[in-house]
Structure 1
Amino acid sequence: MELNKKVDEMKKELIKATQEVVRIKSTLDEEKPGMPFGEGPAKALEKALEIAAELGFHTYKEEEGYYGYAEYGEGEDYVAVLGHMDVVPEGDNWIYPPYGAEIHEDKIFGRGTLDDKGATMAALFGLKAIKDLKMPLSKKVRVIFGTNEETGSSEMHVYNKKEKAPVSGFTPDAMYPLINAEKGIRRFHVVKKLTSCNCGIAIKSLKGGIRPNMVPDKCETVISIKNTEDMVKAVKEFADKKGYNMKTEIVNGDVVLHTFGVGAHGSMPELGKNAVMQTFDFLGTIAKGSCPLADYINFFNKYVGFETEGTSLGIACEDKPSGKLSLNVGVAEINEETADLWLDMRYPVTKKGEEIMDTLSKKFAECGAKIERVEADEPLYFAEDSELVKTLLKVYNDETGQEGKAYGIGGGTYAKELPNIIGFGPIFPGKPDLDHQANEYIEIGDLVMNAKIYAHAIYELAK
């Protein structure tokens, strides 16, 4: 096959280009003129555009530095490949330098090799193969270089205001064979003012979790009570009975309760052990009577507890493309004046988020709480019989020899940021998902295979 042969001929150039962009530390930093997300993302964007220009593509950089792209072909309509040049911080425990792009055992190590720099370079070189072979296209092709995917995708808000939408395309920000359904997400606070509480205890503070999309693995509660020894004993007996990991200490006359759970991603809360809800489980045994705090705690114990599908709240639902609704209590903050839980809900693609939120609002009102500060992320769904899904799956199946099928996820990819875009690669089935992990790498064989798949995918969409 001519395309595959041409990609093989460019293998060394593809590796070199990937190394060049990976060597740039492009984490979010202080805004500067022409650098809305700091020097790192700006430098990575410049390097990507430089590589694209050297390959003979027309390039464009948005005037304020939000994004850029490489373009090939003619026509008003265009097919897009949406990649990003920013990365998450490297973290610790790397075997090789996180920005060294070193090659060991036929793997390129470095932050961004998978997510998304290496995969975006693979798409760019796939387009280069089409260009060199002078294969006829009926649409333009645009490889977009984003700069803020990891921390909000605000560059795509600018893109969508300034640019025409693509007619089709994909993002190498997912997994193979293909992700055709991404659940809708609602993140919101459930807040209640605490006045005239007299339920036998006083919670000076309760803090657990760091982000709504993570199952909290720790929760610390400062409890003011006269008989501290009885409280310490009660905690131990309760923890032993329930099998919870709870520790206490006396600090300035107060009992400080430390609860330890097991963290997990908010899209799969059933895999974790929620330290906040374990704490609520205990507090429910000592928060007696009817007062704002006791009502709030007992409500969540009754209607949420350790359920992760919203059954008792009356919002449980599922569909074939994306599965069941998930619900995670991700962050908790309670003081003597306010109780505030921050929840992450992911709902099936064929359901309506506003209807679910209306049900929740009425339910939470039963304990005097209100939903505040709602963050909405709408679902993405392409039917299995859509042309985009069928075309990309056929390319995947033809190039790998595997019978791949589309599937849905609870998380979100870059595909949600641009119309008519779907998640396609770069991670192959059975290979580790090293996105955001220490020792992120891409196998050179997989990098080249991605370039071949993307070359055929671009051609099929734009021919």
Structure 2
Amino acid sequence: MNFNSKIDSMKDEIIKSTQEILKIKSTEGEPKSGMPFGEGVAKALDCALNISGELGFKTVNLDGYIGYAEYGEGEDYVAVLGHLDVVPEGDGWIYPPYAAEIHDEKIYARGALDNKGPIMAALYGLKAIKDSGVKLSKRVRIIFGTNEETGSREMEHYLKIEKPPVSGFTPDAEFPIIYAEKGLTVFDIVKDLNVKPQGDVVIKYIKGGQRANMVPDYCEAGIISKDSAAIAGSAENFAKVTGYDIKAEIKDDVTIIKSFGVSAHGSLPQHGKNAIMQLFAFLGTINLGKSDIADFIEFMNENVGMDVFGTRFGVGLEDKASGKLSFNVGVVEMNEDKITMKLNLRYPVTFKMEDMVNPFNARLDGSGIRVENFEHQAPLYFPEDHELIKTLQKVYTEQTGQEATLLAIGGGTYAKEMPNIVAFGPIFPGKPDLDHQANEYIEVEDLMLCTKIYAQAIYELAK
């Protein structure tokens, strides 16, 4: 079934509705009655549901948390899951971030690509199906999420009230299809520092990194020593030998060792240089005597070092679908009482959390190091021959003429928040990923092509 000509005839309407919702600043705000994520988000949800109602769809608002437009009949339903909340606009815009102005056939606005433009494309794709009068065997819901950027708490509310779809997609990633997303863990490892150094060298503090899911580009340690010049000289020599960007600065009675790395996303730590572990490599050359901090430094240098795949820690999992486990040391903070490290480990999709956690914990045995604040998100994986994957591949190839290759990623998409959903667009291969960037835009041509792809995809899944 081809809905393309009908979609072409709705071009002005699609652009107008997209601009209308883009003009609403829907960053998370102060909760109010019936507005759990603030006034801006509530206004965007009302706008999306009003547009949906005007297009002839049944609309439902679930207590201000989330809403949907629905079409068709049947026990089961197919879902398109998008979100209306956006990140703050930030600085550096060449056009107003909430004006939705069109320049060079591009609609500029925060949320144009992430994710208001694509969810409007899906809504109008369903409109084309409705206007064509074709019969579907399942209901279709365009679901308007409202908290994807800051926790996806709306999905918990939705799944308490509604059963999940039997299949569907989220237009909140990239094309062709993301069929595999690694399991994601973030947690702290902590060691109490009861046994203090008794020698001439004492580490006063260590601090570095910003978030668990970022390769740290800076870390520093403050060292108290009777011979500060010797410590500084050792750091300079170490930098020459290793090639690490490490510098020393003597300030009063403290020698500050500064380690400079290269930041990268925590899902791809091999693309960065870890400033924390560079610093630990140097600290391991200092005689700290018998102490808890010396034991912790030695443990990390032996079991992690600059390894980003978990091999040295005994958790080097790997599969054909998604590749190697990624191991990122993201943040460190040490004071007189304890040292804490935030880790971000992402394991391959065909494994279970226990396959990583059990050997990890075994390696900690006897070290005095404990795990705290453990957070986990299970992997998402659809086999290559899964009906949903094959259907979306067929649609993408027919609409674009391009091969629908499958993507496996270390990050997590909105698809992880709802069963039976896979990430499908809207960013086309070779196009820039402008999510969360200044001057975010969606090309009008891409908006229209997304509408055509999503219309056919919905039809194929629900026919």
TM-score (norm 2): 0.97
Report the counterpart of residue 184 of structure 2 in structure 1.
185
Please state if 1:315 is matched with 2:310. Answer: no
Aligned partner of residue 297 in structure 1, secondary structure = helix
Report the counterpart of residue 55 of structure 1 in structure 2.
55
Give yes or no for contact 1:315–1:359 (8 Å, CA) kept in 2. yes
Deviation at 1:323, TM superposition (A): 1.2
| Gap regions ≥5 residues in structure 1 | none
In structure 1, give the amino acid aligned to 2:303.
Answer: Y
Aligned partner of residue 186 in structure 1, secondary structure = strand
Report the counterpart of residue 261 of structure 2 in structure 1.
261
Please state if 1:16 is matched with 2:16. Answer: yes
In structure 1, give the amino acid aligned to 2:136.
Answer: L
Equivalence map 1:9-408=2 (5 Å): 9-63=9-63, 65-198=64-197, 200=199, 201-408=201-408
Q: How far apart are the structure 2 equivalents of 1:248 and 1:18? A: 54
Instruction: Name the CA shift for 1:427/1:359 in 2 (closer, same or farther; >3 Å).
Output: same
Give yes or no for contact 1:202–1:336 (8 Å, CA) kept in 2. no
Deviation at 1:245, TM superposition (A): 2.4
Deviation at 1:252, TM superposition (A): 4.3
Deviation at 1:289, TM superposition (A): 3.2
Deviation at 1:2, TM superposition (A): 4.5
Q: How far apart are the structure 1 equivalents of 2:299 and 2:237? A: 23
Aligned partner of residue 286 in structure 1, secondary structure = coil
In structure 2, give the amino acid aligned to 1:391.
Answer: T
The C-alpha deviation readout for 1:179-212, integer Å capped at 9, x for no partner, is 1111001111111000122164322221111111
Q: Identity across aligned pairs (percent)?
A: 60
The C-alpha deviation readout for 1:266-314, integer Å capped at 9, x for no partner, is 0000000111111111111114433210110111111101111111111
Q: How far apart are the structure 1 equivalents of 2:346 and 2:339? A: 23
Report the counterpart of residue 446 of structure 1 in structure 2.
446
In structure 2, give the amino acid aligned to 1:207.
Answer: K
Deviation at 1:238, TM superposition (A): 1.8
The C-alpha deviation readout for 1:147-201, integer Å capped at 9, x for no partner, is 1111111110111111111011000011111011110011111110001221643
Q: How far apart are the structure 1 equivalents of 2:50 and 2:107? A: 21
Instruction: Name the CA shift for 1:397/1:364 in 2 (closer, same or farther; >3 Å).
Output: same
Q: How far apart are the structure 2 equivalents of 1:287 and 1:455? A: 66
Q: How far apart are the structure 1 equivalents of 2:44 and 2:208? A: 36
Instruction: Name the CA shift for 1:24/1:11 in 2 (closer, same or farther; >3 Å).
Output: same
| Gap regions ≥5 residues in structure 2 | none
Instruction: Name the CA shift for 1:220/1:97 in 2 (closer, same or farther; >3 Å).
Output: farther
Give yes or no for contact 1:178–1:423 (8 Å, CA) kept in 2. yes
Instruction: Name the CA shift for 1:252/1:23 in 2 (closer, same or farther; >3 Å).
Output: farther
RMSD of the TM alignment (CA)?
1.4
Q: How far apart are the structure 2 equivalents of 1:244 and 1:24? A: 47
Deviation at 1:406, TM superposition (A): 1.7
Q: How many residues align?
A: 462
Aligned partner of residue 315 in structure 1, secondary structure = coil
Deviation at 1:452, TM superposition (A): 0.1
Q: How far apart are the structure 2 equivalents of 1:101 and 1:287? A: 61
Q: How far apart are the structure 1 equivalents of 2:241 and 2:2? A: 67
Q: How far apart are the structure 1 equivalents of 2:440 and 2:243? A: 36
Aligned partner of residue 27 in structure 2, secondary structure = coil
The C-alpha deviation readout for 1:395-437, integer Å capped at 9, x for no partner, is 0011111111222111110001111101101111111111122
Report the counterpart of residue 5 of structure 1 in structure 2.
5
